[in-house]
Amino acid sequence: MAAHTLSLETFGQIAVVHAPEELAGEHAEVFRQAVASLSQKKIVLDLDHTELLDSAGLTSLMDLADDLRTAGGELKVATSDATNRKILEITRLDQYFEVYSTVLEAVRSFRQDHI
């Protein structure tokens, strides 16, 4: 998955990346590398349409958050999907990065960080 195949929108220095239906297995690491290679280092990851999120997917999210922090950025996750929210809560990843109910809330949180 090259960066040009990512489904994303940009808002200045913020990129909203729409995660694939499956963030699992070997695809998770390829996805992480593609997102990490973006010029924007403030990333909102939209998990609303992700139906499969396995341990490889969760590991890739943690690695991506670390990559972005190292580059001076941050990963924020947006999902209203009850299953994905529960997975993030059970694994305590909701404490590793901020989780929002909507993409708009997550994007706005970046703007409020600088007020």
Q: Which CATH number fits the domain that encloses residue 77?
A: 3.30.750.24
Range of the domain at 57: 3-13+20-112
User: What tens digit of pLDDT does each residue of 2-45 get?
Assistant: 444 789 999 889 999 999 999 999 999 999 999 999 999 999 99
At residue 113 the predicted structure's pLDDT band, cuts being 50, 70 and 90, is low
Q: What is the mean pLDDT of the chain?
A: 92
Give the number of domains in the chain.
1
Q: How far apart are CA 113 and CA 10, in angstroms?
A: 18
Least confident range of 40-44, 66-70, 110-114: 110-114
How do strand 7-11 and strand 14-18 relate by DSSP bridges?
antiparallel
